[in-house]
């Protein structure tokens, strides 16, 4: 994004070797890759023998169970469960990193509980929950017994009695539903103040090195960072309040709200300003996000998923952008593409990547995210209610939700409302869409550097040379893509099960994801602290951003439903039957 | 001319009061007043899914979903 006057030409100088240690884009790459190298060394460099053995045994059991029975047996699910328990981040190093990167926790009425929960309070809460937990465990044991009896009956009939098979499947599903309610961990005592203080110092050093090389005063930056870090923690705290959590008003949104509150009332203290480095934090966060964009995820649900997520999404994105330019005549192309990507791809993360790739203004990113959050909150409740009322099948409903609701968390919750199958399909479709972020950011950056910026500088019609493209191209996008390609190669080489255990539950959730989250919240805090209400209001002019979102999303809803129906029910019904 | 510090502080106080009113008052009231919202809230509490997270990697159920879909296609 740009915080500069649009009349000022950006990146007008030739690329120099010294850019490697003087430019923000490159520092985002070095810092991002430092974290990824640490994560790879700790979690993914060597596959533990126990992991391989567990996966091999579990897959053999599942294959054998599939040969025997026409439904998923208890043994099938138990084998799958053994794979799910494999997590590289459960190592001692992973737990140490988790303790220091941990964000303020859930609370309802007392905000202090977000940072500190005493042992006595935890013991009291666990004691209160014990009767419910014991009852749930007893229910699980009872449903498991019923499931075993029903499965034995079906097996004794050689799996030829369709009624016995259906009965066994129903009892097994009931057992799994009961199991889900007992899987919650007990509450634990917590004191985040010391770990947050240490982590703050780590972040000051982490970002400060780059700031120093870029010619900034590291002492001033360090002092200023304390203020930004405190506001970021307040944002995490508000995002963790139970009601706000349900509505999906996350830490990123609160960072903007609290930051703007301060900036537009008492005013942002000048001592904090050296640490208001929106682009620096966002670019570093995006390079880390690259490691979560794993291309082998695309086939997680077969060809239907690819069509719903990767064919529909670009069509909606491009169509909405053209609609915004030709029909609504939105004056800012960067606002248009940011809203189009936000709505069509996957919400806030797509908006961040696209805005950074096309150097959108921070107000445009803020507006895009605000519109997305409002409509996500509406759709995540309205869509499942509509789907249930109309009687749309679970798989179709899940695919529809996954391809249209913006945020992954809201998608999973909305899918869960319909049922487990719908949630699985919805979450998988959204995950496949998330992977599209890398491609979107690259092509937006390429389009902007080759077409849009030259046209704005009166150079349309003149071909742009490779050197000039390189000068203009946002370099952090290259870091983002390289991280994605390398992580995808690692994930692909390990296979889906080990990749889940070591990349997803190791490199990503063990270090890259938590640090990325902090980077984004720091970035949005910086946005809030530097945003004027009046400047933001200017972008609402004529309501065009909202009209763009509504029209684009309406098109998205129709096209996604149509494609999901064709793919899951007409072309690949066999895949649908297996889910 | 920039407003006085007292005036700015008053604005901050008022803004905080409005925010707290929304967080502790309006938002829970809406949640409890509409059946679809209540049902949705129950799902969120039961599943521990956080609707506001940005990326699939922050939703543990995504791993379950992916594994279930892949295994269903491979082993059925």
Span A327-370, pLDDT tens digits: 999 999 999 999 999 999 999 999 999 999 999 999 999 999 99
C-alpha closest to that of A88 among A509, A495, A502: A502
Using CB atoms within 10 Å of the CB of residue B10, give its burial: 0 to 12 exposed, 13 to 18 middle, 19+ buried: middle
Whether A1 maps to a domain, the answer reads no
Within an 8 Å CB–CB cutoff, is residue A252 touching chain B?
yes
Q: What percent of chain A has pLDDT over 70?
A: 96
**Rg of chain A, C-alpha, whole Å:** 25
Q: Is the dihedral of CA A362, A364, A370, A375 positive or negative?
A: negative
CA distance B15 to chain A (A): 7
pLDDT (average), residues A82-101: 96
Contacts made by residues A479-482, CB under 8 angstroms, sequence distance 24+: A479/A25, A479/A28, A479/A29, A479/A32, A479/A33, A479/A286, A479/A287, A479/A290, A480/A286, A480/A287, A480/A289, A480/A290, A480/A293, A480/A353, A480/A438, A480/A441, A481/A290, A481/A438, A481/A441, A481/A442, A482/A290
Residue A451 domain-assigned? Answer: yes
Whole-angstrom Cα distance, residue A258 to residue A249?
13
Predicted pLDDT of residue A6: 34
Mean pLDDT in chain A? 92
Give the pLDDT score at A350.
94
What pLDDT is stored for residue A7 in this prediction? Answer: 29
At A9 the pLDDT is 32
CB-CB under 8 Å, B19 with A245: no
A517:B58 CB<8 A: yes
Nearest to B30 by CA among A105, A408, A381, A414: A381
Q: Do B62 and A520 touch (CB under 8 A)?
A: no
CA–CA dist A549, A381 (Å, integer): 18
Convert A371-388 into a string of H (helix), E (strand) and C (coil): HHHHHHHHHHHHHHHHHH
Q: Closest partner residue to B50 among A63, A245, A253, by Cβ?
A: A245
B17 touches chain A (CB under 8 A): no
pLDDT exceeds 50 at position A8: no
Taking 80 as the threshold, does the pLDDT of residue A464 lie above it?
no
Look at residue A461 in the predicted model and tell me its pLDDT.
63
Closest chain B C-alpha to A19 CA, distance in angstroms? 31
* Dihedral angle over CA of A474, A475, A479, A485, nearest 10: 70
Largest CA distance in chain A: 80
Assigned domain for A96 exists: no
Domain span at residue A40 reads 19-45+249-578
Q: Which of residues 44-63 of B touch A (CB under 8 A)?
A: 44-59, 61-63
The rounded distance, in Å, linking the Cα atoms of A168 and A152 is: 8
Could you tell me which residues come within 8 angstroms of residue A369 by beta carbon, excluding any fewer than 6 positions away? A252, A253, A256, A342, A348, A351
Quick check: B23 and A241 CB within 8 A?
A: yes
pLDDT-based confidence at residue B1 (cuts at 50, 70, 90): low
B76 has a pLDDT exceeding 80:
no
**Hey, is the C-beta of A508 within 8 angstroms of any chain B C-beta?**
yes
**Contact at 8 Å (CB) between A496 and B66?**
yes
Say yes or no to pLDDT of A137 above 60: yes
pLDDT score recorded for residue A542: 83
List A residues 208-227 in contact with B (Cβ-Cβ < 8 A).
none
pLDDT at A235 over 50: yes
Confidence of residue A10 (pLDDT cuts 50, 70, 90): very low
**Is residue A352 included in any domain, yes or no?**
yes
Is residue A40 domain-resident?
yes
Q: Is the model's pLDDT at A3 over the cut of 70?
A: no
Compare all CA atoms of chain B with the CA of A348 and give the residue at the minimum distance: B54
Find tokens 């740009």 and name the residue: A2
Question: Three-state DSSP class for A241?
Answer: strand
Contact B12 A428 (CB under 8 A): no
A161 inside domain: no
Out of A239, A242, A500, the one facing B52 most closely (by C-beta) is: A239
Smallest Cα–Cα separation from A524: which of B52, B62, B7?
Answer: B52
Other beta carbons within 10 angstroms of residue A125's beta carbon come to 13
For residue A54, tell me if it sits in a domain.
Answer: no
Q: How far is CA A140 from CA A137, A542, B37, in A?
A: 5, 56, 28
Answer with the residue of higher pLDDT: A185 or A468: A468
The Cα–Cα gap between A249 and A218 comes to 33
Q: Is A69 on the interface with B (CB under 8 A)?
A: no
Partners of residue B58 in chain A, C-beta under 8 Å: 408-409, 509, 513, 517
A552 neighbors A340 (Cβ within 8 angstroms): yes
pLDDT in tens, A149-208: 999 999 999 999 999 999 999 999 999 988 877 666 778 899 999 999 999 999 999 999
pLDDT at A179 (0 to 100): 87
Tell the burial category of A12 from Cβ atoms under 10 Å away from its Cβ (0-12, 13-18, 19+).
exposed
Is the ipTM value over 0.90, yes or no? yes
Cβ distance B5 to A84 less than 8 Å, yes or no, reads no
- pLDDT at residue B46 is higher than 90: no
Average pLDDT over residues A372-396: 94
A302 pLDDT tier (thresholds 50, 70, 90) = confident
Let me know the angle formed at the C-alpha of A109 by A103 and A110, rounded to the nearest 5 degrees: 60
User: Residue A11: what pLDDT?
Assistant: 41
Query: Considering its fold, how many domains does chain A have in total?
Result: 1
DSSP string over A310-351:
IIHHHHHHHHHHHHHHHTS--S-HHHHHHHHHHHHTTTHHHH
CB contact under 8 A, B59 and A427: yes
Q: Considering the domain boundaries, does residue A13 fall inside one?
A: no
Indicate the pLDDT class of residue A460, thresholds 50, 70 and 90.
low
Distance from A546 to chain B by nearest Cα, in Å? 20
The helix/strand/coil state of B51 is coil
A108-132 pLDDT per residue, tens: 999 999 999 999 999 998 898 889 8
Residue A299 is predicted with a pLDDT of: 82
CA distance A418 to A394: 7
- The closest of A259, A248, A286 to A366, measured between CA atoms, is A259
pLDDT classification of A4: cutoffs 50, 70, 90: very low
A115 and chain B in contact, CB less than 8 A = no
Q: How many residue pairs from chains A and B have C-beta atoms closer than 8 A?
A: 200
H/E run at residue A577: helix A573-578
Contact across the interface for B52 and A416, Cβ inside 8 Å? no
State the Cα–Cα distance between residues A397 and A391, nearest whole angstrom.
9
Cβ–Cβ of B67/A348 closer than 8 Å?
no
Q: How confident is the model at residue A470 (pLDDT cuts 50, 70, 90)?
A: confident
* pLDDT-wise least confident of A4-8, A13-17, A73-77, A457-461: A4-8
């Amino acid at each position: 994004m740009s915080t500069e006057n649009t009349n000022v030409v950006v990146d007008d100088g030739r690329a120099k070797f010294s850019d490697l240690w003087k430019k923000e884009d490159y520092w985002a790459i070095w810092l991002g890759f430092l974290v990824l190298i640490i994560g790879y060394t700790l979690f993914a460099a060597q596959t533990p023998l126990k992991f391989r053995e567990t996966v091999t045994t579990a897959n053999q059991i599942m294959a054998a169970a599939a040969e025997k029975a026409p439904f998923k047996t208890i043994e099938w699910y138990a084998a799958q469960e053994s794979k799910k328990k494999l997590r590289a981040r459960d190592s001692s190093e992973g737990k140490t990193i988790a303790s220091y990167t941990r964000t303020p926790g859930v609370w309802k009425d007392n905000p202090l509980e977000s940072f500190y929960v005493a042992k006595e309070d935890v013991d009291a809460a666990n004691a209160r929950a014990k009767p419910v937990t014991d009852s749930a465990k007893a229910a699980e044991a009872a449903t498991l017994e019923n499931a075993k009896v029903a499965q034995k009956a079906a097996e004794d009939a050689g799996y030829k009695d369709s009624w016995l098979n259906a009965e066994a499947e129903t009892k097994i599903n009931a057992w799994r539903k009961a199991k889900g309610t007992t899987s919650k961990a007990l509450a634990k005592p917590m004191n985040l103040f010391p770990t947050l203080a240490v982590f703050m110092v780590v972040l000051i050093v982490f970002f400060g090195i780059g700031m120093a090389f870029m010619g900034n005063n590291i002492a001033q930056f360090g002092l200023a960072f304390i203020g930004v870090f405190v506001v970021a923690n307040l944002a995490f705290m508000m995002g963790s309040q139970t009601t706000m959590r349900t509505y999906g008003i996350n830490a990123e949104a609160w960072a903007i709200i609290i930051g703007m509150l301060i900036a537009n009332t008492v005013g942002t203290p000048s001592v904090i300003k050296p640490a208001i480095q929106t682009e620096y934090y966002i670019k570093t966060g995006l390079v880390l996000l690259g490691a979560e964009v794993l291309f082998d995820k695309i086939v997680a649900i077969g060809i239907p998923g690819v069509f719903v997520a990767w064919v529909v999404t670009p069509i909606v994105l491009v169509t909405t952008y053209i609609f915004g330019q030709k029909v609504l005549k939105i004056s800012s192309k960067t606002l248009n593409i940011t809203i189009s990507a936000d709505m069509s791809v996957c919400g806030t993360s797509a908006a961040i990547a696209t805005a950074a790739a096309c150097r959108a203004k921070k107000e445009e990113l803020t507006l895009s995210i605000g519109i997305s959050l409002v409509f996500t909150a509406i759709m995540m409740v309205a869509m499942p209610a509509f789907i249930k009322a109309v009687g749309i099948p679970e798989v179709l409903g899940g695919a529809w939700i996954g391809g249209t609701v913006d945020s992954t968390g809201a998608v999973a919750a909305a899918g869960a409302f319909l049922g487990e199958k719908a949630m699985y399909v919805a979450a998988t479709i959204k995950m496949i869409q998330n992977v599209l972020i890398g491609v979107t950011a690259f092509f937006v950056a390429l389009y902007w550097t080759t077409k849009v910026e030259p046209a704005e500088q009166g150079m349309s019609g003149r071909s742009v040379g490779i050197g000039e493209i390189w000068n203009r191209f946002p370099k952090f996008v290259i870091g983002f893509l390289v991280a994605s390609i390398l992580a995808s190669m690692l994930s692909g080489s390990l296979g889906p099960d080990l990749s889940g255990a070591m990349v997803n539950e190791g490199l990503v959730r063990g270090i890259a994801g938590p640090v990325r989250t902090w980077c984004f919240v720091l970035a949005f805090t910086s946005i809030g602290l530097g945003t004027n209400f009046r400047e933001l209001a200017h972008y609402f002019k004529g309501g065009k951003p909202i009209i763009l979102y509504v029209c684009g999303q309406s098109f998205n809803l129709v096209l996604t439903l149509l494609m999901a129906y064709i793919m899951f029910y007409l072309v690949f019904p066999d895949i649908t039957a297996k889910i | 001319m920039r407003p006085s510090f007292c005036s700015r502080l008053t604005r901050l106080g008022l803004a905080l009061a409005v925010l707290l009113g929304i967080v502790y008052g309006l938002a829970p009231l809406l949640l409890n007043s509409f059946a679809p919202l209540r049902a949705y809230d129950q799902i969120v509490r039961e599943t521990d899914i956080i609707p506001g997270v940005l990326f699939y990697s922050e939703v543990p159920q995504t791993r379950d979903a992916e594994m279930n879909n892949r295994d269903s296609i491979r082993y059925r």
